Amino acid sequence: MVPLKPADAIIISLVIAFAVVSFTFLPKSAGEKFVVTHDGKIILEGELSKDSEYSINGSLGQMKLLVKDGKISVVKSNCPRKLCIKRGSISKQGDSIICVPNRVIITIQGKGEIDGVTG
C-alpha cells in the first residue's frame, strides 16, 4: 500500500548520515565559558577551565556557584525548592541552569569562532 521505492533508501540514509555527522561534529561540544545573568543583565562571566568558587547576588540573596572539572553547578541558594542545586552540574554548549526565584540564569557558551562566520 505504501508506495516506497528502493531508491528511497538513498534519501533516508543521506538524511541519517547528515544527522550522525551533525551529532558528532556540531552539537554538544564542551563549553568554554559560562555567563550568569540576573534580571537579564550579565553579572558574571568566567572560564570553565579554571576551577573556582563564585558568589553572586540573586533576588533572594547570595548564591554560590562552583566550577570544577569544566562543569558549573549551583551549590548554595536561598530559593525555596532548590531546583537550581538539584539540576546538578552543566558543561555542554547551550545548557543552562535557571533559578526562577532568584531571577538568575547560568548559560554555557562555546568559543567565539562561530560568531565570526555570521559577522
Tell me which residues touch other proteins (CB under 8 A). Answer: 2-5, 7-8, 10-12, 15-16, 18-20, 22-23, 26-29, 93-94, 107, 109-110, 114-115, 117-119
- The nearest distance, CB 10 to other proteins, in angstroms, is 8
7 or 41, CB closer to other proteins? 7
Q: Which residue number, 80 or 116, has a Cβ lying nearer to other proteins? A: 116
What string of DSSP letters covers 5-64?
A: -TTHHHHHHHHHHHHHHHHHHSTTPBPSEEEEEETTEEEEEEESSS-EEEEEEETTEEEE
Q: State the minimum distance, in angstroms, from the CB of residue 74 to other proteins.
A: 20
* Nearest distance, CB of residue 105 and other proteins, angstroms: 13
As a whole number of angstroms, the distance between CA 17 and CA 11 comes to: 10
Between 31 and 58, name the residue whose CB sits nearer to other proteins. Answer: 31
CB nearer to other proteins: pick between 15 and 100:
15
CA distances from 1 to 5, 9, 16, 34 (A): 12, 17, 24, 53
How far apart are CB 69 and other proteins at their closest, in Å?
21
CA atoms 22, 24, 30, 32: torsion sign: negative
